[in-house]
Structure 1
């Protein structure tokens, strides 16, 4: 017995201590999960959470097991405690809760949790799964999910909205939104590219150039930016910079449909019509684009410029079938006949609208208002904003009138900017002020007139008069109300100018103006004469409900003060008229 005890004592024993901690129980839980022993896994995750109660991962694992076991309510209770008490940044818990609610058929609560996940999660780990769940919720709730923002795609929703604004011609609003996107996310190349285009559409060429250069500094091979830069170089007539860039683009064969379209339109604008035609015909082979009239028009313009007139005719005839209400195909088919006879040159613009001059001809035929298609078409609006900055005086005058017919917030912003430009013509700026007032802008306006910054108050007209009497305003309003449908905005403005000139010259000895209608009728009569419109004392006195003698008397007084007859003698018939 003694020897046995010695033997036992001499044998070295190996005891491996077990470390009872959270890691131990976590590993046991995972093994149990792999064997689908959920009861054991839940028990081990609970023990892990007891050892590390402040670790949200242990609690989240426990909630996951409860969900697998169908205990959705308890799972959600734990998930809610994680984001409420332990770690609010574990935003994936909201996605897990949404899953649990969906399994409980509580779809309203599932939607609420899913939206919270998408609005708070910066990484977008479950974006694809979330899209699938949104489809389910859409079906079950019979309405779209009430989602306005996805944090993981910060800027994407806003960028889509900005693109829509550009397509609708709302350039000022698009610029504001795109500037805010770029400020938050400087690596968002698509937003920078579209911001450059928005500046360009508005005629802000220097800003457009700076913005596109910034894109290429960050991403030198960006095709959209290279195409935009080439167009900007062409606008600046910088042939030295343009030539190598065109050579590079001619060698480029993009794969993606969007890139093919961008390159095709760019080559057309640059005058590389053969390259443009090749790319447009590539696009027309795609069945998904065979119903797009714009694409056929672009291909027709390219074909026309390389002398393929029959092909151009076939393409424009297809445009006519696809878009029967458009004036575009008919106009270009007429022009094509002249081109074939050598009487006209090929079109230079690829835009799917009529040339600027033709648009105004259509408008003038419908002088009561601007045609709806001109109001909606973003390219037309772009041409208006561009012409307002870069057109000649006559074109700017037409544009200001046209913008008055559109009369939306974009127009108001554009005209506000116009009247503070020091280099613009004062007469045009006064008409712009008049248009702003006529389309409902009643607040004070900042303007630069006669080289000086000035504020035009709502209650005052843009004049040097120290006061503006209510009676004077009544005369003006009586005339403008009756002229509204029969005179354009320039003619209405000229009436305003005539009235201000009369009051300014005669002040302070202004007549009492007892008969407002008589003075208003006289102003219309003189304005009509200045614009070579047929009018008589009899006609105007009937419309204003006053006598011929009163109108004649007021006309004579205004003419004595302002010298209208003398000014217009060489270009207009005599202003005097024998009373009937």
Structure 2
């Protein structure tokens, strides 16, 4: 039989083909594989609302709420109010981020367009919780929506500058936070750390020691001082304080990461390794420092293949990591 163009069956992978494989991977919690399949489907149909929404759900699942919201906003930009479930998903993500004003806005939008929708009960419950946070005047620690949004914006800006070692910019933001939001305790410790890294070592140590004296249980103070003492050659102080970290096991992933990184910075690579291995990497994937220090710790423990793997993952998620090599 002569093969011609007319009798060759043309086979082309459509978006649904890739999407179905993504769903299967997602259901078995193979999130990296699922992300690849969903992105493949979006290469063929970039504005498909189902593909965009499902990838956003994946990002929500692994704690990347900003990326999830970008995709949901794309659905709204291209399809208007035709997919009101996006409003619920946005409200939920903004609540996780602590941006309560935005969470309330999208929760209200969902009820406006889908009063009896599938997520009505969840949205009503979310709005009730936000209302309680907003109106409880008896708790002095409660903050209004606008204040909470401002804190989150300052926090994320400071986080970016700290992760990229832009010390002067970080100091400026953290000084504002200390002035306007003194209840945000970690800001002053991040400020001391940025001061130390910018060259004001003695001032940073003086501040942190004073705060540690006020609260000897502070993990923030101990982490900073262990690093400060080690880096500035105060060996006796370092040797005295280091053991106080070894029996501390935080439950909050960013604190686990800070402890692991501190041990790495003071060249306790053997102690740092199990700490990194206990971290849920999906919850710290937005930390450039996670990939940098975990890769280094693995190499120092002669786990070179794994070190290279973590480094490549970091470069893929944070291209600027290459400048830290």
RCO greater where, 1 or 2, for CA within 8 Å and sep 6 or more? 2
Length-normalised TM-score, structure 2: 0.50
Length-normalised TM-score, structure 1: 0.30
